[in-house]
Amino acid sequence: MRETVLDHLKKVGLVPVVVMSDAKSAAPAARAMREGGVDVMEITLRTPAGLEALRYAADEGILAGAGTVLSLSQCRQALRAGARFIVSPGFSEDVVEECLSWGVPVLPGCVTPTEIMRAAEKGLDVLKFFPANVYGGMKGIKALSSPFGGIQFVPTGGVDLSNLSEYVHPAVYAVGGSWMCPRALIDAGRFDEITELCRQSVEVLRQARERAV
Ligand code: 3PG
């Protein structure tokens, strides 16, 4: 069976959140990440370079989605620019409906039972959990997964190499964050360090998943 975008996110288990100052940097950043074993990138629309960066990243064969999608118009722009998935910090019915109509996976940020229920009503079962460190981290996710057993989360916010392994749990679909491809390293052209951060993240996750079996 063909691997879907969501299947791929789950397999990689990591969703690097990337902020681009210059769209052209998306190409070397994508190559660096791929070399480190991470071929997924959530390019935020926090900077004007974000939309164009999506195209550069896709040309490097990375699965590039758009993040920080706050409105329907941003969502449409991202989908037209070829975003393979859409991530939003919160739940917007308009954004979710638009993605559903395009058949593109959407991960809205949901941290309360009400938000989760609204997303579930739309048929979604993979949700961003943001900011994870503020909303109780793994403790918060475990508490929510009692009533919402069919939902899996992508915790993002405050995760790094030091606490990544805490998030290996059946209720966690993948883990997101900016630590794998920090803006400062992209801007400084320190792509080798991005490769190394990705490599280490893949290894930490692999070991934690092995221990969890
Ligand atoms: C996001 O948009 O998901 C967050 O900015 C990522 O949070 P982090 O920088 O703490 O990883």
> Could you tell me if the CB of 130 is within 6 A of ligand 1?
yes
- Structural domain contains residue 42: yes
What is the pTM (predicted TM-score) of this model? 0.96
The residues, any chain, with a CB within 8 Å of residue 55's CB and separated by 6 or more, are 23, 81, 82
Domain count of the fold of the chain: 1
From 47, 163, 178, 183, give the residue whose CB has the most ligand 1 atoms within 8 Å, as the site to mutate.
178
- Structural domain contains residue 35: yes
The pLDDT value recorded for residue 213 is 79
CATH of the domain at 155: 3.20.20.70
The pLDDT value recorded for residue 5 is 96
Active site residue 52: no
Task: Work out the average pLDDT over 158-169.
Answer: 97
- Structural domain contains residue 213: no
> Could you tell me if the CB of 17 is within 6 A of ligand 1?
yes
Domain that holds residue 75: 5-208
- Structural domain contains residue 109: yes
Per residue in 124-136, is it b (16+ CB within 10 Å) or e — as a string? bebbbbbbbbebe
What are the angstrom distances between the C-alpha of 122 and each of 14, 59, 63, 92, 195? 24, 32, 24, 11, 37
Answer whether residue 156 shows pLDDT above 80: yes
Of 90, 97, 116, 93, whose CA–CA distance to 171 is shortest? Answer: 116
> Rounded to 5 degrees, what are φ and ψ at 15?
-125, 90
- Structural domain contains residue 21: yes
157 CA distance to ligand 1 middle (Å): 4
Q: Residue 79: how many CA atoms within 13 Å on its side-chain side?
A: 19
Answer whether residue 69 shows pLDDT above 80: yes
pLDDT digits 0-9 by tens, 34-47: 999 999 999 999 99
Active site residue 128: yes
- Structural domain contains residue 127: yes
pLDDT digits 0-9 by tens, 170-204: 999 999 999 999 999 999 999 999 999 999 999 99
Between CA 102 and CA 76 the distance in angstroms is 10
Q: Which position among 52, 98, 128, 210 bears the catalytic label?
A: 128
The pLDDT value recorded for residue 141 is 98
Answer whether residue 1 shows pLDDT above 80: no
Q: Token pair 């393979």 is at which residue?
A: 84
Q: Token pair 């896709």 is at which residue?
A: 58
- Structural domain contains residue 41: yes
Q: Which position among 11, 42, 52, 115 bears the catalytic label?
A: 42
Q: Token pair 């475990």 is at which residue?
A: 142
